[in-house]
Amino acid sequence: MSLSHSDLARLVADLTQADRVLHAWVCLDPAPRAAAHGPLTGLVFGVKDVIDVAGLATRCGSPVTDDRPAAVDADCVAALRAAAALPLGKTVTAEFAHVSPGPTRNPRQLSHTPGGSSSGSAAAVAAGMVDFALSTQTGGSIIRPAAFCGVVGFKPSYGAVSRAGMQVMCPSLDTIGWHARDVDMAARVAGVLLPPQRCESPRRPRVRVLPAQPGYHLEPAALEAVRHAGRTLGDAGYAVAQTEAMPQSQELLRTHGTVVHYELTRALTALSADADPARDERLSPRLRADLRRGQALAYADYEAALARLHAARRRDWEADFGDADLVLTSSALGPAPHGLSHTGESGFNKAWSVLGWPCLHLPTTQDDRGLPLGVMLVARPGMDPALLRWAGEIHSLIDRRDTASLPSLNRSLP
């Protein structure tokens, strides 16, 4: 059912009021529009402020960007609008989708970080403001906010969704995905944005449980969430086995750091101190430091890192996970940390972003403070539709939350 003009006006007014606490939105469109009918009729969504929406500025979470409105929609926004979904506005991002956070608060615990860089998108979905929200990921910018805010987060295979109309910071890694209130909603969006794919066999997937990665220590509650999910699937008849950490995981992390700093610096060359010192001073101290790090990198270092990245993407899935269809692991080291001056540790996500494999966060429980916890499913590259299809049944088995207590659309913050 489509939304009337009065319904939309009331919704925008309600969101404006609720956002005085949450700060998930950069701006709301006072008169959103979409096709009259389509597969997403009646759904409303947010758009991370690195993706163009016609008539709205793309500021990338920075005061140094142009405030002129975009002339046309990004490809992904245009496709969703054509499917009759309504873009309500732009959601907050960390500065240039990197690490310096915006003002967004976590709707589950307002004094805890919502994660980043797609903080506004995850928070808006978690607060029941929208059905889904477009996001992006370079390291952990979709999966980690989904984990911290307790929503579904989907990062497709690298290159699966067009980036036309996105402010790309790291061409070798940046991927458009989305946050959604449940797996079914994430799959409906995928039906519009992902290329059609022949359905696989309806058999249950084989699952490998990966409880740890070298150099990272999971908090007990996060580790238990992974182990509980693995036990539950095994009890339900799934073929489940534990696997050791990927042998190349530390190399993937080093590769990620070099590629990100080199490409981000080149993307923001016009904002560097040599180009315009006055504008450079308006960037956050953390971003300025990372730009200096990127400027110090030699092209030979970047070229070597890029070669490692491409070699990793050519590596067979079977080399690490045999005949498994899915990897079950943690989405974050633990629940959302306290404080809003940082977005949490993304290291547990970076290896998957370098590989370019599709990842899906599933919220499953919470700790004794009410902070969300969950798990991540990773599939073979290009198996995005199968991942979403399998995730529906898996989530129904491992989800231990009281779903009646979760926000629904149009509800304000408690």
Residue 28, beta-bridge partner list? 89
- Per-position DSSP letters for 229-247, written without gaps between them: HHHHHHHTT--EEE-PPPT
Q: In 3-state terms, what secondary structure has residue 135?
A: strand
Cβ(132)–Cβ(189) under 8 Å? yes
Amino acid at 154: F
Give the C-alpha separation, 297 to 208, whole Å: 37
Question: Helices then strands (H, E): number in the chain?
Answer: 13, 11
Q: Helix or strand or coil: residue 63?
A: coil
CA distances from 266 to 169, 239, 274, 302 (A): 9, 46, 13, 12
200 contact partners, CB below 8 Å, separation of at least 6: 383, 386, 389
Which residue among 117, 119, 157, 331 is the active-site one? 117
Q: How far is CA 137 from CA 56, 115, 155, 179, 230, in A?
A: 22, 12, 7, 11, 26
Would you call 48 a catalytic residue per the annotation? yes
90 is a catalytic site residue: no
How many angstroms separate the CA atoms of 168 and 354, rounded? 16
Alpha carbon distance 325, 390 (integer Å): 10
> 100, 119, 121, 141: which one is catalytic?
141
**Cβ distance 116 to 325 under 8 Å?**
no
Residue tagged active-site, from 48, 90, 155, 350: 48
N- to C-terminal Cα separation, the chain: 27
The yes-or-no answer on residue 341 being catalytic is no
Q: With beta carbons less than 8 A apart as the criterion, state whether 287 and 100 touch.
A: yes
Which residues are the active-site residues?
A: 48, 117, 141
